[in-house]
Amino acid sequence: MRHDTGDHTLNETGEAGIIQRIQHQGVSGPASHVKKGIGDDCAVLETEGASALLVTTDTLIEGIHFTDQTLSPEALGWKALAVNVSDIAAMGGTPKTAFLSLGLKGETKVQFLDAFLAGFKALSEKTGVVLAGGDTVESPSCAVVTVTLLGECSKERVVYRSGTEVGDHIWVTGRLGDAAGGLFLLKEKGGPTPPEYASLILAHQKPMPPFELGKALGEAGLAHAMIDLSDGVAKDLGHICEQSGVGALLQGSSVPMSDPLKKLADQVPHPALGWALQGGEDYELLFTASPAEEPRILSLSAKVSDGGATRIGKIIDDSGLWVDTPEGRNLLESHGFLHFSK
């Protein structure tokens, strides 16, 4: 962190600079009951029992994270919870208790609230999450939704972003890039979306984090490191590599992508692999594991309802993220979504 007078803007500092500033000002610790504070998908708090308490919070703001063009009120309710479920899953935990802070304009119709709550409820029922409190306030100009989600995980089984080793395989769940393709359609294309692309729209609007697989991976002790794919593989895998001082080599041909995404990519045209590795908002999981565990991972992944893991590369004793494509080996640049981009 620069020691300066602060006479520059948050845009110039960037999100990482802001977080550094919070950490370095000593606002955030230390404390005996905080096993992990800022710097992972969730905070990990000690409890008297056998489980650690996991806590995560995420804010969605109209005009930044969504518009009425990209998310219906119902999808907003679903997604506000989903992005937090994803963080709990990335620690290998079980999501349990949600708190909802909702800022809406006074002229908002009650229909909007009802649809929002229906979307929130639909995912909370699927994930076993209970809403236990929150705050409702008037917002002067844009809708603001903050969800704080508490979860639990056996103390010995919490999976962090750190802990990966050279030679580990890199795995991802689901198919990547659908959410980015969906967002492209919602923002760039006018008029109704062809039905063949409905799954892309759905991936952006109502992501379904693989919380059962995340939990199962944690319980089985199979993942060395794990993170949720909110900002894209390039940025999120970057976090994992930074924390262990390693690099990664991906096989472009192994990255799981859906047929509708490939079709859209051909049509636009836009590199499908760009959406898959740099697009963000997939809310799938990326984890690393010992190569010896491949059979157990595939077996586990076949057993849970939201399973489906694909090996896409390996951790290397080098810096940087590299991807092999038919055109050669390329440095994977972090074009993931940046808040307060420089």
**Contacts of a second copy in 33-52 (CB under 8 A):** 33-34, 37-38, 42-43, 45, 47-51
Dig out the tokens for 225 from the structure. 């490191």
Give the whole-angstrom CA distance, residue 43 versus residue 6.
28
Give the whole-angstrom CA distance, residue 88 versus residue 209.
10
* 284: Cβ contacts below 8 Å, ≥ 6 apart: 172, 173, 174, 175, 176, 209, 210, 228, 229
Give the whole-angstrom CA distance, residue 294 versus residue 57.
32
Minimum gap (Å) between residue 5 Cβ and a second copy: 7
Residue among 4 and 327 whose Cβ is closer to a second copy: 4
Residues numbered 248 to 287 that lie near a second copy (CB under 8 A) are: none
Q: Which stretch binds a second copy (CB under 8 A): 137-145, 154-162, 207-215, 233-241?
A: 137-145
Counting contacts by CB under 8 A, is residue 107 touching a second copy?
yes
Dig out the tokens for 118 from the structure. 């229906």
Give the number of residues in contact with a second copy, rule: CB under 8 A. 86
Minimum gap (Å) between residue 290 Cβ and a second copy: 29
Give the whole-angstrom CA distance, residue 172 versus residue 227.
10
Minimum gap (Å) between residue 85 Cβ and a second copy: 15
Minimum gap (Å) between residue 50 Cβ and a second copy: 7
Minimum gap (Å) between residue 140 Cβ and a second copy: 4
Query: Residue from 75, 90, 150, 261 that binds a second copy (CB under 8 A)?
Result: 150
Minimum gap (Å) between residue 213 Cβ and a second copy: 23
Give the whole-angstrom CA distance, residue 177 versus residue 281.
8
H/E segment holding residue 239 = helix 233-244
Residues numbered 53 to 92 that lie near a second copy (CB under 8 A) are: 53, 55-59, 61-65
Q: Which stretch binds a second copy (CB under 8 A): 133-141, 201-209, 293-301, 311-319?
A: 133-141
Residue among 60 and 298 whose Cβ is closer to a second copy: 60
Counting contacts by CB under 8 A, is residue 26 touching a second copy?
yes
Minimum gap (Å) between residue 319 Cβ and a second copy: 26
Provide the 3-class DSSP secondary structure of residue 111. helix
Give the whole-angstrom CA distance, residue 177 versus residue 233.
10
Dig out the tokens for 266 from the structure. 């051909």
Under 8 Å between Cβ of 240 and 288:
yes
Minimum gap (Å) between residue 36 Cβ and a second copy: 8
End-to-end distance of the chain based on CA atoms, in angstroms? Answer: 15
Counting contacts by CB under 8 A, is residue 20 touching a second copy?
no
Q: Which stretch binds a second copy (CB under 8 A): 113-121, 164-172, 200-208, 307-315?
A: 113-121
Q: Which stretch binds a second copy (CB under 8 A): 120-128, 256-264, 271-279, 295-303?
A: 120-128
Q: Give the strands of the sheet with 130-138, arranged side by side.
A: 34-36, 43-45, 51-61, 144-154, 94-104, 130-138
Query: Residue from 80, 91, 104, 241 that binds a second copy (CB under 8 A)?
Result: 104
Dig out the tokens for 220 from the structure. 């089985």
